[in-house]
Amino acid sequence: MRVLITGVTGLVGSHLARHIIGERGHQLFGFKRWRSSTAPLADILDRVELIEGDVTDPSSVEAAVLRSRPHRLYHLAAQSYPSESMLAPNATLVTNVLGTVNVLEAVRRLAPDCRVHLACSSAQYGLVAPEEVPISEERPCRPVNPYGVSKLARATGWTPEVPFEQTLAGVLAHWRERLEREAPAPVAAAGPA
């Protein structure tokens, strides 16, 4: 099976890479930013094919999906620090929300049979009263920082009661497919829109 990990140089990505390599029959690809250190992968660099890019750049995500043709994709790349998200809310939302849209769109168009795992976070639940622990999936989400908001935006709708079409992944897959099917052929036009 071909497996692609985004955020492969991160804390979770590097451990997951080692775990996947330890299992037989998998070919591992890792998506990394050009400036990210490969030190966390030092002992397995000969077993993972690294592809450089940035999740905020759709063309580099598409190139990675085309090259790896994944059966499984673990999307871990993120601005993952809640405190940093207070200083850089815009970058956090762009990376975590639009970056995820870019990953899902590339998979939908180029590897539609691939299964995608999105890393969510307890931060999407935000404020939790002591009597609400342990947190159930039915509990209302009250994120308290842009990081939590970004994780909630990606995960919205992911409860057993909500149809897939109402999730971010579902909206993209369902409505884009329908628009493409029903949209009239584009007409060249000039002038103000």
> Position of tokens 């909630």?
152
Q: Of 9 and 68, which CB lies nearer to ligand NAD in the complex structure? A: 9
Using the minimum distance from each CB to ligand NAD, give the nearer residue, 68 or 80: 80
Minimum distance of ligand NAD from residue 179's CB (angstroms): 27
The token pair at 46 is 């000969």
SS3 state of residue 28:
strand
CB of 13 to ligand NAD, least distance (A): 5
Rounded Cα distance between 54 and 31, Å, is 8
Residue closer to ligand NAD (CB basis): 91 or 171: 91
Report the candidate in 151, 14, 150 with the shortest Cα–Cα distance to residue 74.
14
Q: Cβ closer to ligand NAD: 24 or 35? A: 35
Least gap, CB of 156 to ligand NAD (angstroms): 16
Count of CB atoms within 10 A of residue 133's CB?
9
Residues that bind ligand NAD (CB under 6 A): 6-7, 9-13, 33, 36, 54-56, 76-80, 95, 99, 119, 121
Residue type, 96: N
Give the Cα-Cα-Cα angle 65, 67, 72 (nearest 5 degrees).
45
Identify whether the C-beta of residue 167 lies closer than 8 Å to the C-beta of residue 157: yes
- What's the min distance (Å) between Cβ of 83 and ligand NAD? 12
CB nearer ligand NAD, residue 99 or residue 146: 99
Q: Which residue is nearest to ligand NAD (CB)?
A: 10
Q: The dihedral of CA 160, 149, 170, 107: what is its sign?
A: negative
For the bound state, the minimum distance from the C-beta of residue 183 to ligand NAD, rounded and expressed in Å, comes to: 30
